[in-house]
Structure 1
């Protein structure tokens, strides 16, 4: 509602009708924290998936591609020798990338190995360079990726409401940012146009390494622990505190 409200105001202002509202007229909303997948969720999900879906989810996670981008990637867009995946305009599918921007994303060898293993299982027509990486049995765009994700989550005994495709993209961004990749680089990899859209993915880490750092940071602040006492000694302590 907030977004639609802002769009309407922009349209009216462009038509010469500005300043229709006061400061408190805008719809308010809770700015929710970005959600990412935890390791145990991904492990359970993959254990219930076919090779096709498991490879697809790895691709989302390690490339940061949007749903439509993943739907239209072809084998020729994956450069196994240089560890790069291209996101290109696809006029043959009548598809244009968001904001009309093409890009290249470096991906880990782990993903490329899994893509190669998956490709070996495909018939020649679906494994050719011009074929879609994630297609139907007839070689067409797979248009039910979200529905399949929720079905696989339910099959794994997980809450399907906690699973959606954009969450892989959020996990991709958060993983790189927590590893120390700078904001502008992650922005480029994700095809974003401003830093503000990337900063929201700086989700605080919660793994054991972080807990160790937190403990170390406050180690110097450790205070002597109070000893449990009873009887006359306890009464003496209370009396001493009252006299302070």
Structure 2
């Protein structure tokens, strides 16, 4: 069956074990921070429980990449299913500060002053 999901389960519905799979892959790849301890006392140094790995990072990466490519924030809001724009803006806040577009805008602003603009 076809699914609109990027990572569907075998039946095409959401994969309820995807987070566990992600954490296992990160652990096997040696990407855990080694400092997390979960509620049951398991350390991510020895078990696939690192808090640094979560599914929301995929949503934030999706939003950031499309924002950097020029997709309007209002369109991203719809794609992400957010009811208000403020939630979408929270996803993009840190990314916007680091983006090439923002860096270019800041450099352009300062170029004005360097070219004898008003002080």
TM-score (norm 1): 0.31
Q: In the TM superposition, what whole-angstrom CA distance separates every residue of 1:191-229 from its partner, at most 9, and x where no partner exists?
A: 12111111112222536x45973784335549xxxxxxx
Give, in whole Å, the separation in 1 of the partners of 2:88 and 2:54: 19
Please state which structure has a larger fraction of its residues in strand: 1
User: Structure 1 unaligned runs (5+)?
Assistant: 1-73, 78-84, 88-110, 116-132, 223-244
Flag the 1:200–1:155 CA change in 2: closer, same or farther, 3 A: same
Give, in whole Å, the separation in 2 of the partners of 1:151 and 1:175: 25
Paired residue for 2:75?
185
Paired residue for 1:199?
89
> Residue 26 of structure 2 is aligned with which of 153, 160, 170?
153
Secondary structure at the counterpart of residue 158 of structure 1: coil
- Aligned Cα RMSD in Å? 3.4
TM-score (norm 2): 0.58
Paired residue for 2:55?
165
Give, in whole Å, the separation in 2 of the partners of 1:177 and 1:140: 28
Flag the 1:180–1:148 CA change in 2: closer, same or farther, 3 A: same
Q: In the TM superposition, what whole-angstrom CA distance separates every residue of 1:94-139 from its partner, at most 9, and x where no partner exists?
A: xxxxxxxxxxxxxxxxx8xxx9xxxxxxxxxxxxxxxxx4228xx8
Deviation at 1:187, TM superposition (A): 1.2
Query: 2:22 touches 2:53 (CA, 8 Å); kept in 1?
Result: yes
- Superposed, 1:54-203 pairs within 5 Å as 74-75=1-2, 77=3, 85=4, 133-135=8-10, 142-159=15-32, 160-202=50-92, 203=95
Aligned length, in residue pairs: 94
Paired residue for 2:39?
none
User: Structure 2 unaligned runs (5+)?
Assistant: 33-49
Query: 2:60 touches 2:91 (CA, 8 Å); kept in 1?
Result: yes
Query: 1:178 touches 1:205 (CA, 8 Å); kept in 2?
Result: no
Greater CA radius of gyration, 1 or 2? 1
